[in-house]
Amino acid sequence: MDDFVLIHNDKEYLKYCLKEISKILSNIGLSLNNKTMIQRLSYGITFLKWKFILKENGKVYMCLPKKWLSKKKRKISRVLEKEKQGYVLIGTSQKCLNGIIAYASQGNTYVKRNKLLKWYREKK
């Protein structure tokens, strides 16, 4: 795994850590990519396709990106079309939907999951 996040309340300390990490990586022939940044935690951090947002009450919310719902609808639509054409077994789209819902249930995605389920019922 090559992704990591450092969280600290002192911005200067994070800058120091960034320099030290860059030094260590350059010694072994690696470098950080251009997405490396220091930012406020309240802006949210995207990590492993999830967006983590720190709210004022101290809670961390784990959300999916804005485009997630439309991407999953397209994926299920393709599977539904293949079902209708007989290229895949009937019920494959339901299994696909179940997998997507299970993945999404790991975070704060109640509204997105319900929208996807409603869309699927109307589509089928």
How many Å apart are CA 36 and CA 38, to the nearest integer? Answer: 7
Please choose, from the candidates 1, 107, 15, 110, the residue with its C-alpha nearest in 3D space to the C-alpha of residue 52: 107
Same domain (yes/no): 58, 95: no
How many Å apart are CA 46 and CA 52, to the nearest integer? Answer: 6
Out of 63, 86, 105, a domain closes at 63
- Tens digit of pLDDT for each residue in 101-111? 999 999 999 99
- Tens digit of pLDDT for each residue in 11-50? 999 999 999 999 999 999 999 988 888 988 878 888 888 9
Domain count, the chain: 2
Mean local confidence (pLDDT), 72-98: 96
**Can you name the residues that pair with 63 across neighbouring β-strands?**
51
Same domain (yes/no): 44, 79: no
Is residue 54 within 8 A of residue 35, CB to CB? The reply is no
